[in-house]
Structure 1
């Protein structure tokens, strides 16, 4: 048994001095920055007394008591609660990417609030907790149902959580596009806001958070057994599946309760435990304590910066959740520079595969997928609704219909193939089935640059938009390369750094979209995969690029087969590991950027397509690449057709339908497989 799996010794590891120093510095900066605007009119004792009293004759004390003090208190309370929830989540799943966000809890809570807003507004008036907790339980319930037979394998739970997040997020966005007049304010709420005008929200939230926190701490001893690994913990009498289920349920309650009150600030649940771990928290007790402490200070600082930015921006609201991600992403990126250990987490299997479907013939699967793709193409070109109902267009008239249907269909197929291949490269290169183009931040970089240019009012034309989006993807890729080069592009650091970049880019998108008015609303369609803007020239250019890089992928088969053996073994077999990882990353990034700049950031396909290939029984590298490309092409071709005809003459973004179609199929495929 490795030292990572050995039982913890009686002597606790020494706590590095930098951890309490950084935590104290974080709190000092946050409190000072928060109090600074009020200190010009109040003394420090008067400001501190604002937490329990005020002077009715002094407006500054009234403002401090009813606005500043409850905002500080609720930020600290929520930050501490989410930090603890994040540490618990990472402990039970043994994965540093685990958080309430990646388990789908945040997306589920938002889904519950969205449904209640549309169909049961009285429920929100009675208690927003019910809708949020119900949505969060729905999300985690789907995750548990899908992974129960797999013994709550950490990788499988995270993977299912990501897919559930995409699936529910797609439904949320579809409702927003269709019912924007009712749900527009959910964009601001979705980004998180801690603005307070009395103490009631804090008083309502305090007993809930404290109760859930006490219940979480009561599971501390069973959670310590999980550090030994599932087999060892079970042999010592630990009921691993039950402990994980209870802990996940408490995480849902904590996250959903917070989301219902202040919106989406759940990134704290990822950032705080990561910071505590990177700064030296080793034991479970240390991680829980310092994740809680760091979470409170981190959210208070983020909220203060959001408040300052709102004041400087002419009172245009800057959501707290956005500020949290904007400063949290760079913090994780900087903290990652000190990591030298690239091994798996304690208790995490070195082989990430969690289910092994029956092998099937490549020819059979490829022919079946190719046939489905041809049938979809034929139907898309031939059978479509018009002003006088559904019309059948015979093949000899397709030349006339091509200008309306052909370029978008061709671009959708090629983009799906590009993302399928990119996702396979990333998952194979990192040895982590959670890897996807989205987690590398490349799609977010392209989308962020394009959105900023459009909202700024610059008229640069379609070619200029493509150039700017390409620049954004290149900047994100450059940052990722600079980050991962120190660690020889190892899987864990690459994914965690990419996730930080992705969250940072998404926060920027939320910020500009929340302040962009009608222009921002129009950009929603492109952001979620609109294919109707594609021209024939763009589609043909994408075809040349995808075919060219598809041929180059033949050269990647040997590196992709050797990298899962580990750096030492791969190097001993003659592979230049850092160079191979860099070239694979470049290939995946170019394929992702090409798809993103043409039809929008639809990298959901990059996560789903490789797993569909595995579900269909293709385990070797070459076979998985071929089938993932065909699956991605078929998925987006079907999504493009449905987006055009389901609500004719209105259209839905193909990316949303791809998330729905692919998510349903993937969840069904995952649920069919038992323990590996």
Structure 2
């Protein structure tokens, strides 16, 4: 008997129809007060130019509706294809660097090559998107595209490119004001020109993707089985991925960052029962169109409620898609590898070495950096040494930020060690837990409701936001017994969701956007002495608690059966380690901002220096973290004097480069 194809659950088409009806009604409802239904429909094709409402319908509402349907369907299809070729249910242009690459390319071209932007903004965005995702794929190609590795690489590439983009915005904000709006995603249209330019590209690329459906089906059997059946797996993946990148970059070059629908639509299709590849592609396409139209309608309603202040479509898209993503995450049964992949990633254990020599050397380096930061700085009359007798005066200006950077480096390094030990992934870092996104979103809410509680209120709000994210992570991971990789994927999902609110405030520009951008960039110059001392006290308490979990971290990597046989309550132990790591991350993030790769680099460098036991690795990582962030703060103060470069941007650029180098070597170890 031939195998019977899975039946289509009724909830899939019925939910799709319901989303479309809600979206169309929500989009059209504001116009029904001005025009009857027949006049509204007639205005789409042939407006009465004497009726201003019909002119607005024809040149504003109708092309906007058409763009939402066109772009949503294209991104839904692209997301479904990308998940198929990577065999990763959380893969999408949002998490693989397309948008960040396109945004950085546009920023660079706007500042340095304005002629190129005038010639073809699409070419600029497409090139940046290809380079961004190409970097992710090149780094993870030999690792078999394991879900966690691809997602981590994509997020770190996005962080890395985003840090460079943030630097451009800080120093060239007068030229890049519109890029804030573009980064948040807006479907506002003034005529049909953009739609007429875009639809042939989307249709051609979509047809090309559909034609790849039959060979793509072979990938469901795994790479080895597909090769045995004659499929050229590498060439097929490259071709499909190139088409997806071209489609996504073409879209975002026109309307900005709305590609979150490329993650939400396939996830929703799968949740509603799409089983075969054909079902997944078809219903992801239809759901993508409906979701983006619904998000755009909600954005228009929110703009009207906000007295005309623009609420970008990309924000509404993420606010709708975020819960869908979290539901999809809860439904994942295999939290680390997809079928056909190796059960464990490539491992690398450097040779063990004595602790004394690297410890003394690193302490000497840290002491040297501290002395330089206090005593040797540029002035208007050149570089000058500060006499020891005047160090108390120098401390008033340089001490608080120096202390904050040093302590933040320690706590982030220890948090990174805990997370890498907990997940068994040396490429994991505190940034992907989503704690910083929660803290940032809380500050965004203060801005949106018009409150200005001062620095103390902002810190309190950031603490509550980080606590809310931690609670959500616990809820998501409890079902999977606080599995390490489920925590990482949950953190990524939360971060992408939180990013929507941040982009909304940045799109509004003005003072609040500049303040938020400064904090997001990892600025230490805002830190007061009271805040620095408070961070030091909190850090001391948390580090003392951390010392008590070294035995737990030694046992957990042995596997759950072994840990249980040794009397360890595994879920409770994982939850405790997560809580400590999250508190450490939140303490540093709230004070200096989220952009820092110290939590990634320091534990890794400690391992490379031969420290394999938990206690030794944490000790050496803490000193490395302190030295790295202190040096970054010092350089950020002096390299562009009298201007200052945020320390977070500097560490993100250096740390991102280090991560990319480390991941590129991971398969060779």
Query: If the length of structure 1 is used for normalisation, what is the TM-score?
Result: 0.90
Structure 2 portions without partners, runs of 5+: none
Map residues 347-496 of structure 1 onto 2, 5 A cutoff: 347-351=340-344, 353-354=345-346, 356=348, 358-359=350-351, 361=353, 363=355, 366=359, 369-395=362-388, 397-431=390-424, 435-453=428-446, 458=451, 460-491=453-484, 493-496=486-489
Mapped pair 1:536 → 2:517: no
Mapped pair 1:524 → 2:509: no
| 2-structure distance, mates of 1:204, 1:310 | 27
| 1-structure distance, mates of 2:486, 2:549 | 21
Kindly state the Cα deviation for residue 336 of structure 1 after the two structures are TM-superposed.
Answer: 4.9
Secondary structure class of the residue paired with 1:384? strand
Map residues 121-520 of structure 1 onto 2, 5 A cutoff: 121-147=114-140, 150=143, 155-334=148-327, 336=329, 342=335, 344-351=337-344, 353-354=345-346, 356=348, 358-359=350-351, 361=353, 363=355, 366=359, 369-395=362-388, 397-431=390-424, 435-453=428-446, 458=451, 460-491=453-484, 493-515=486-508, 517-520=510-513
What CA deviation, in whole Å up to 9, does each residue of 1:129-150 have, x standing for no partner?
1110111122233334444555
| 2-structure distance, mates of 1:418, 1:277 | 40
Residue of structure 2 equivalent to 1:6: none
Structure 1 portions without partners, runs of 5+: 1-8
Secondary structure class of the residue paired with 1:101? helix
| 1-structure distance, mates of 2:103, 2:377 | 34
Kindly state the Cα deviation for residue 617 of structure 1 after the two structures are TM-superposed.
Answer: 6.2
What CA deviation, in whole Å up to 9, does each residue of 1:53-79 have, x standing for no partner?
333344333322222121111111111
Q: 1:312 to 1:489 in 2, by over 3 A?
A: same
Alpha-carbon contact 2:96-2:155 (below 8 Å) kept: yes
Aligned length: 667
Kindly state the Cα deviation for residue 314 of structure 1 after the two structures are TM-superposed.
Answer: 0.9
Alpha-carbon contact 1:615-1:670 (below 8 Å) kept: no
Alpha-carbon contact 2:637-2:645 (below 8 Å) kept: yes
Mapped pair 1:653 → 2:646: yes
Q: 1:461 to 1:588 in 2, by over 3 A?
A: same
| 1-structure distance, mates of 2:475, 2:61 | 40
Alpha-carbon contact 1:78-1:258 (below 8 Å) kept: yes
Secondary structure class of the residue paired with 2:378? strand
Secondary structure class of the residue paired with 1:180? coil
Residue of structure 2 equivalent to 1:119: 112
Q: 1:441 to 1:390 in 2, by over 3 A?
A: same
| 2-structure distance, mates of 1:455, 1:189 | 19
Residue of structure 1 equivalent to 2:40: 47
Mean CA deviation greater in 84-93 or 636-645: 84-93
What CA deviation, in whole Å up to 9, does each residue of 1:491-511 have, x standing for no partner?
455344433332232211222
Query: If the length of structure 2 is used for normalisation, what is the TM-score?
Result: 0.91
Residue of structure 1 equivalent to 2:8: 15
Q: 1:390 to 1:125 in 2, by over 3 A?
A: same
Alpha-carbon contact 1:438-1:603 (below 8 Å) kept: yes
Mean CA deviation greater in 292-301 or 41-50: 41-50
Kindly state the Cα deviation for residue 467 of structure 1 after the two structures are TM-superposed.
Answer: 2.1
Q: 1:189 to 1:20 in 2, by over 3 A?
A: same
Mean CA deviation greater in 61-70 or 338-347: 338-347
Map residues 103-114 of structure 1 onto 2, 5 A cutoff: 103-114=96-107
Kindly state the Cα deviation for residue 287 of structure 1 after the two structures are TM-superposed.
Answer: 2.3
| 1-structure distance, mates of 2:606, 2:214 | 40
Mean CA deviation greater in 162-171 or 51-60: 51-60
Mean CA deviation greater in 71-80 or 362-371: 362-371
Mean CA deviation greater in 281-290 or 168-177: 281-290
| 1-structure distance, mates of 2:258, 2:547 | 43
Kindly state the Cα deviation for residue 406 of structure 1 after the two structures are TM-superposed.
Answer: 2.4
Secondary structure class of the residue paired with 2:45? coil
Alpha-carbon contact 1:166-1:604 (below 8 Å) kept: no
Mean CA deviation greater in 223-232 or 178-187: 223-232
Alpha-carbon contact 2:103-2:125 (below 8 Å) kept: yes
Alpha-carbon contact 1:611-1:666 (below 8 Å) kept: no
What CA deviation, in whole Å up to 9, does each residue of 1:411-444 have, x standing for no partner?
1122122223323333443455665433332112
> What do you get for the CA RMSD once the two structures are aligned?
2.9
